C-alpha cells in the first residue's frame, strides 16, 4: 500500500500519542542525512564480525551478494552463538532447524531455506537455490538433500559452550537474527538474514528469516531492508517489503524504519526491529525491543559506527 504523505505523517502523530515514538525517538538516529557508499550494516553485537568480513569483500570490489553471504557465514560458523547456525537453540523436538534468506536487488533475485537441519551455512544454501534452481525457497528434507547434492557437508548441531535454557515464547533474547545489508559502490544492494529461530518452536515452524519480503527485501532502485525479531509478527505485516514502500513514499530510511516498526507494535506482540538502507547509502533503523544494537562500516567512515 502506498500511503499519502499526509496519511504518513498523521500515522506517526497517532503513534506519538500512544507513546511508541517516545521510545523510538529516544534511540540515537544513525543518520538520515549522511551517505555511506559503499556500506555494510547489520544487527546485534555479533554483527560486528560479519561487518568486518563483509566490508573487506566490498573493498576488494566484489559483489554485495558475496559480502552478505560471507559476512553472515562468519556468524553462522560461531557455535557459541545461541540464535544463529548449528549452535542455535533447538526446537521442541530438540532439533536445530535453521532459516535463512538472501536477496540481490538487481532483478529481485531471491533464495531461501526453511527448517534446514544439519547444514552449517543456510545462507550459502539459500544463495545456491537462488542461483542454480528456478525456485526461491526449499524447506526441510528437500532443502537438506539439495544442500548435500551441492556439496555442503552434513554436520551435527551443538554448542561449543554451555547449554542455553529453552524458552518457547519470543522475547528480546529469543530471536536474535543476524540481518545484514550491503551496498556496493555502483549502488547495487544485497540483503540477507539467518537464524535458528525461536527456541522451543514446533518442528517445521518457519519464521520470517526464510521469507523474502518478510525477513529481507532488496530493490536496487529503492534500497534494502532486513529484520530481526518475532517471526510471526514480522510475517503478518510483511515487514521488509512494507518498509521499502514507506521508504519509497517518504524518501527517508530512518523515518521509514520507524513507521514500519510500528506495524509490529500494532500487531500487539511484535518484539523486533529492522535496518534500512537506500540506494544513496542513507541508513535507518528502528526497534520495539528495549535495545537493538546496529553497526555499520564504510570506507567513508574512519571507524565502525554503532547505534542502539
Shortest distance, position 162 Cβ to ligand GLY, whole Å: 22
Q: Are strands 272-278 and 137-139 parallel, antiparallel or unpaired?
A: unpaired
Shortest distance, position 175 Cβ to ligand GLY, whole Å: 5
Question: Does the footprint of ligand GLY cover residue 209 (CB under 6 A)?
Answer: yes
The DSSP line for 173-222 is: TS---EEEEEE-TTS-EEEEEEE--STTPPTT---GGGSBTTTEEEETTT
Residue 210's Cβ-side half-sphere holds a number of Cα atoms within 13 Å equal to: 23
Nearer CB in complex with ligand GLY: 99/245? 99
Question: Does the footprint of ligand GLY cover residue 182 (CB under 6 A)?
Answer: no
Question: Rounded distance, CA 229 to CA 194, Å?
Answer: 12
Give the residue from 35, 92, 11, 18 showing the smallest Cα distance to 253.
Answer: 35
- By CB neighbour count within 10 A (0-12 exposed, 13-18 middle, 19+ buried), where does 107 fall? exposed
Question: Does the footprint of ligand GLY cover residue 207 (CB under 6 A)?
Answer: yes
Question: Does the footprint of ligand GLY cover residue 124 (CB under 6 A)?
Answer: no
Scanning 150-158, 184-192, 226-234, 245-253 for contacts with ligand GLY by CB under 6 A, the matching segment is 226-234
User: Interface residues for ligand GLY in 1-40 (CB under 6 A)?
Assistant: none
Shortest distance, position 172 Cβ to ligand GLY, whole Å: 12
Looking at the annotation, which residues are catalytic? 177
Binding mask 244-283 for ligand GLY (x = CB under 6 A): ----------------------------------------
Nearer CB in complex with ligand GLY: 44/104? 44
CB distance 70 to 127 below 8 Å = no
Shortest distance, position 225 Cβ to ligand GLY, whole Å: 13
CB distance 252 to 204 below 8 Å = no
Question: Rounded distance, CA 205 to CA 235, Å?
Answer: 12
Nearer CB in complex with ligand GLY: 187/213? 213
Bond from prior residue into 38 cis (ω within 30 degrees of 0): yes
Q: What residues line the site for ligand GLY (CB under 6 A)?
A: 99, 175, 177, 195, 197-198, 207-209, 228-231
Amino acid at each position: 500500500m502506498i500511503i499519502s504523505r499526509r496519511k504518513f505523517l498523521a500515522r506517526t502523530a497517532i503513534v506519538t500519542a500512544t507513546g511508541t515514538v517516545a521510545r523510538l525517538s529516544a534511540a540515537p538516529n544513525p543518520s538520515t542525512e549522511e551517505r555511506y557508499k559503499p556500506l555494510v550494516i547489520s544487527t546485534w553485537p555479533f554483527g560486528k564480525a560479519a561487518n568486518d568480513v563483509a566490508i573487506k569483500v566490498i573493498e576488494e570490489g566484489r559483489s554485495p551478494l558475496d559480502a552478505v553471504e560471507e559476512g553472515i557465514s562468519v556468524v553462522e560458523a560461531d557455535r557459541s552463538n545461541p540464535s544463529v547456525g548449528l549452535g542455535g537453540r533447538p526446537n521442541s523436538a530438540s532439533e536445530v532447524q535453521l532459516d535463512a534468506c538472501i536477496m540481490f536487488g538487481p532483478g529481485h533475485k531471491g533464495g531461501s531455506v526453511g527448517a534446514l537441519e544439519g547444514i552449517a551455512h543456510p545462507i550459502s544454501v539459500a544463495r545456491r537455490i537462488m542461483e542454480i534452481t528456478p525456485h526461491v525457497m526449499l524447506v526441510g528434507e528437500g532443502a537438506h538433500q539439495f544442500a548435500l547434492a551441492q556439496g555442503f557437508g552434513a554436520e551435527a548441531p551443538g554448542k561449543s559452550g554451555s547449554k542455553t535454557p529453552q524458552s518457547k515464547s519470543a522475547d528480546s533474547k529469543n530471536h536474535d537474527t543476524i540481518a545484514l545489508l550491503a551496498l556496493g559502490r555502483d549502488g547495487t544492494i544485497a540483503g540477507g538474514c539467518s537464524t535458528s529461530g525461536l527456541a522451543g518452536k514446533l518442528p517445521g515452524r518457519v519464521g520470517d528469516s526464510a521469507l523474502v519480503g518478510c525477513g529481507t527485501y532488496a530493490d536496487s532502485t529503492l534500497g534494502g531492508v532486513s529484520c530481526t525479531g518475532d517471526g510471526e509478527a514480522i510475517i503478518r505485516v510483511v515487514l521488509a517489503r512494507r518498509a521499502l514502500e514507506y521508504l519509497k513514499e517518504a524518501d527517508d530510511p530512518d523515518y521509514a524504519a520507524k513507521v514500519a516498526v510500528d506495524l509490529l507494535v500494532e500487531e500487539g506482540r511484535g518484539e523486533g526491529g529492522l535496518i534500512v538502507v537506500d540506494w544513496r547509502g542513507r541508513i535507518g533503523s528502528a526497534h520495539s525491543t528495549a535495545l537493538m544494537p546496529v553497526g555499520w562500516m564504510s570506507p567513508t567512515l574512519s571507524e565502525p559506527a554503532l547505534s542502539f
